[in-house]
Amino acid sequence: MRSTSRNRTSRAARAAAAAAAGALALSLTACGGDDNDSGNEQGGNDQETAGTVTLPKLNGESLEVAAVWTGAEQENFKKVLAEFEKRTGAKVTFVPAQDPIINFLGSKVAGGQPPDIAMLPQPGAIKQAVDKKWAKPLGAEAINELQENYSQGWQDIGKVDDKQYGVYYKAANKSLIWYNAKVFENAGATEPKTWDELLTTAQTVYDSGVTPFSVGGAEGWTLTDWFENIYLSQAGPEKYDQLAKHEIKWTDPSVKDALTTLAQVWGKKDYVAGGANGALQTDFPASVTQTFTGGDQPKAAMVYEGDFAQVNITQAKAEVGTDAKVFPFPAVGDTAPVVSGGDAAVILQDSKAAQALATFLASPDAATIQAKLGGYLSPNKNVDNSAYPNAVQQKIAKSLIDSGDDFRFDMSDQAPQAFGGTPGKGEWKALQDFLKNPSDIAGTQQKLEADAAAAYGN
């Protein structure tokens, strides 16, 4: 959650795709060609639109949608809403919310005016909304659409007690390593596929005179994401789920292995830009920009983070795809990990219109519109990969979809906030201390376990 939300604020700077309107028109005509059963000609609008999803007529209805998105992201999402308005005749208002959105919704509900639909960023938040009886289950049509377009895994994380509440409209792929293409070229390094290859690549880069990794250690969430990728790949999804629920302890040998693996990068002299102390004062945006500025001699060659790092790369005046390239997080165990995040649409006020919008957001039509505008990733498997505007985006989307049900949701986002989401506390702090002293694996495990036990209350 932290990761995406941090970026939301800076995303305003990202220029809206130049041909936004043009792309929209394109997508509509492209859709218009293939089928027709849902002929949705709206009164007064001469443009013919058709899609894969059937939507009811909702003239005169009005809806409110709350999300924390700002800037270009909000603009692009509004275009999706505009398409819904055009197809159904309903009026949709976007309500800008603040992080953490669950608190924002709390005040709205208390005031008796919850939005019809809210975009919730974590499975924990959906559960909270259900527990508080704010969320309403999805209707048959929305579930139908969901089953058609989403893999089982993406459906399941939108469920609470076997009832479908959430439609994951937007996803984040947090298993990526961005690298400075020039440095790799200078060093003659190649994109690694396994952890050992990653270490070889790092050594080659280091031999060429550039520090291999940039770590934004001032913010703990980048460190938890590092750990989660290694743990998911090394210990496997089952253990990952158990650890996320704190069914196994952090003193488990599997955690020890993951930390040992992590120390191969964090603990090696000169492998982390600025050393441990420098990294601990580097915030996430700086960790990205310092990797892509400085010509032949950037502060580091590689930086680990999710697809949202593109925003910061663009801000560093580097071109994604030429200056900045990306490879999936290498496999530490048998398969490469896919750690993800995402925002789910949850209905708070049940109505025909709200159900229709949820159905629409579950359809490839909606996702394709925003995919074309860039800066967006959909977990919808029926979104054509070519809809993404550039090769890097296509690669990221492909690795997310290809992972099928083997992806896992960010572990620290699933944990209680005191453990997984508070600066200077819990997992964030323990991993920062670990970055500082990577030889103290047992001590780190004990600290993690003590904090986890307190936060989970077991």
Task: Give the residues lining the site for other proteins (CB under 8 A).
Answer: 185-188, 204, 206-211, 217-220, 270, 274, 277-278, 280-281, 283, 296-297, 417-418, 421-425, 428-429, 432
Cis status, amide bond into 100, omega within 30 of 0? yes
Decide if 406 contacts 335 (C-beta within 8 A): yes
* Nearest distance from C-beta of residue 203 to other proteins, angstroms: 8
> Judging by beta carbons within 10 Å of its beta carbon (0-12, 13-18, 19+), is residue 253 exposed, middle or buried?
exposed
Name the residue nearer to other proteins (CB basis): 219 or 307.
219
The encoded tokens of residue 411 equal 């572990």
Q: How far apart are CA 46 and CA 366, in angstroms?
A: 20
Residue 69 CB, shortest distance to other proteins, in Å, is 22
Q: Which is nearer to other proteins, 185 or 196 (CB)?
A: 185
Q: Which is nearer to other proteins, 209 or 404 (CB)?
A: 209
Could you give the count of Cα atoms lying within 13 Å of 285 in the half-sphere of its Cβ? Answer: 13
Cβ closest to other proteins, residue 196 vs residue 296: 296
Minimal distance, residue 352 CB to other proteins, in Å: 36
Region of residue 164 (phi > 0: left; psi between -120 and 50: alpha; otherwise: beta): beta
Q: Report the residue number, 206 or 226, with the smaller CB distance to other proteins.
A: 206
Nearer to other proteins, 39 or 423 (CB): 423
Burial (CB count <10 Å: 0-12, 13-18, 19+), residue 48: middle
Closest distance to other proteins from the beta carbon of 450 (Å):
10
Instruction: Extract long-range pairs of 186-190: CB within 8 Å, 24+ residues apart.
Output: 186/210, 186/296, 187/301, 189/301
Q: Cβ closer to other proteins: 237 or 278?
A: 278
* Angle CA 81–83–84, to nearest 5: 65
Rounded least distance, CB 38 to other proteins, Å: 45
How far apart CA 300 and CA 302 sit, in angstroms, is: 6
Nearest residue (CB) to other proteins, 138 versus 187: 187
Choose between 395 and 447: whose C-beta lies nearer to other proteins: 447
CB 376 within 8 A of CB 437: no
Structure tokens at 397: 């989307």
SS3 at position 121: coil
Which DSSP state fits 50? -
Distance CA 370, CA 76 (A): 6
Q: Which is nearer to other proteins, 188 or 404 (CB)?
A: 188
Of residues 408 and 447, the one with the C-beta less far from other proteins: 447
Shortest reach from residue 290's CB to other proteins, in Å: 9
CB of 212 to other proteins, least distance (A): 11
Length of the chain equals 458
Structure tokens at 225: 């994401």
Q: Are 1 and 60 contacting, i.e. CB atoms less than 8 angstroms apart?
A: no
Q: How far is the CB of 292 from other proteins (least distance, A)?
A: 16
To other proteins, the closest distance from the beta carbon of 415 in angstroms equals 12
Q: CB 140 → other proteins: shortest distance, Å?
A: 36
For the bound state, the minimum distance from the C-beta of residue 131 to other proteins, rounded and expressed in Å, comes to 12
H/E stretch holding 153: helix 152-156
Q: Are 336 and 236 spatial neighbours (Cβ–Cβ below 8 Å)?
A: no
- Residue 131 CB neighbours (<10 A): 11
Measure the CA–CA gap between 327 and 441, rounded to whole angstroms.
28
Which two structure tokens, joined as six digits, stand for 101? Answer: 């959105």
